[in-house]
Amino acid sequence: MTKKRVSIMKFRSLKYFILEGLKNIWINDFMSLASILTVTASLLIFSLFLIGTLNVNHVMTQVRDQYEVLVIIDAATPPNRTLDIGEEINAIPKIKEKRLVTKLEALNEMKESINDEEIFAGLEIDNPLRDTYRITLDNLEDSDEVANAIRKISGVANVKTSEDIVNGLLSITRVVNLVSFWIYVLLMIISISIITNTIRIAVYARRKEINIMKFIGATNWFIRWPFVVEGIVIGLIAGGITIFVMFNAYGYVTSSFMDFLGAGDMTFTLQSVGEVIGTLSLSVIILGVVSGMFGSVISVTKHLKV
């Protein structure tokens, strides 16, 4: 048998699988529609959790970028020693960046934020503020370790880490990621179950035909593939509807959220539609297609045992 002939046979088989799968959906129109809508509902719920997880992680990234450990220098520390303290801080691992804010710079920052000259009158001469190092970390988890190392440096009066806030944010992130994972697993099981029941009806209606195909020598996978195509198409349609709905809904929500809070005053922002849609589309399509494939295989297997 020539390679050309084999290729033609493979193409004809593929065409047969696709047409049969689409025909099954058309014949079982009511059940197929019910399955598409139900799977879409599952994918929409999954999408909400996925978007929530993506945004929590996005906010945590912003927290990491903005979070600072404040190292307050003792008022009696001379300027040269303050610079030496900076070198000792540099030697501590897990520190991303450090920046020295002198007490004069801190006073000027306060003047810019509070536009009232009377409040700051005379403070240039008798400045009560302290020289401070502002430090950012590679990981928030290292906050306590770095702070304890800095406290041992001579000339450091205090180290502020906001430990409660850090621990709270880290706990929220872990919980959200864990819950999202199990939601993903649960919705996968639900989607597989829905598609399994739909295709089981099509398989039952064609059980005699399947038995005849088995007796004349058709392989199990030759019989399975039309039903696998049916499940994949159901998953793809449900995924496409989900992506369309979430794309428009998320764009509206983020726009309204920014307008409500005032984009210029926000410390943290949500991910844009463009940032979310790629991950969302890939995840939804994978969930829909995998659910369809597994549901189809499970449905057909019983009737292949002749």
Cβ 143 vs Cβ 69: under 8 Å = yes
Q: Is residue 121 left, alpha or beta, with left meaning phi > 0 and alpha meaning psi from -120 to 50?
A: beta
pLDDT digits (tens, 9 = 90+) for 172-205: 778 877 887 888 788 778 777 777 776 676 666 6
Give the pLDDT confidence score for residue 25 in this predicted structure. 67
Give the pLDDT confidence score for residue 121 in this predicted structure. 64
| Alpha carbon distance 201, 190 (integer Å) | 17
Q: Which CATH class is domain 68-161?
A: alpha beta
Please name the residue that has the structure tokens 């959790």.
Answer: 49
Give the pLDDT confidence score for residue 244 in this predicted structure. 92
Cβ 127 vs Cβ 104: under 8 Å = yes
Task: Show the tokens assigned to 152.
Answer: 């041992």
3-state secondary structure of 289: helix
Q: Is the dihedral of CA 200, 206, 207, 209 positive or negative?
A: negative
Cβ 146 vs Cβ 92: under 8 Å = yes
The identity of residue 164, as a single letter, is: D
pTM > 0.75: yes or no: no
- Contacts of residue 251, defined as CB under 8 A and 6 or more positions apart, other chains included, come to 273
Give the pLDDT confidence score for residue 198 in this predicted structure. 67
Give the pLDDT confidence score for residue 263 in this predicted structure. 45
Give the pLDDT confidence score for residue 243 in this predicted structure. 92
In this structure, which long-range contacts are made by residues 144-153, counting pairs with CB atoms below 8 Å and at least 24 apart in sequence?
A: 145/94, 146/69, 146/92, 146/94, 146/95, 147/69, 149/92, 150/69, 150/71, 150/89, 150/92, 153/85, 153/88, 153/89
User: What are the extents of the domains in the chain?
Assistant: 11-64+167-304, 68-161
Please give the helix or strand (H or E) that residue 72 lies within, else none: strand 69-73
Cα separation values, 283 from 180, 228, 229, 290, 295, Å: 13, 20, 19, 11, 18
pLDDT digits (tens, 9 = 90+) for 64-74: 777 788 898 88
pLDDT of the chain along its 306 residues, tens only? Answer: 455 544 544 556 667 666 666 676 676 666 777 778 878 888 888 888 888 888 888 877 777 777 788 898 888 888 899 889 989 998 888 888 888 888 778 777 777 777 666 666 666 666 778 889 998 888 777 888 888 898 988 898 888 887 677 677 778 778 877 887 888 788 778 777 777 776 676 666 666 767 777 777 777 767 777 778 888 888 888 889 999 998 888 877 777 666 655 544 446 677 888 888 888 899 888 888 887 787 777 777 766 665
Count how many residues are written for the chain.
Answer: 306
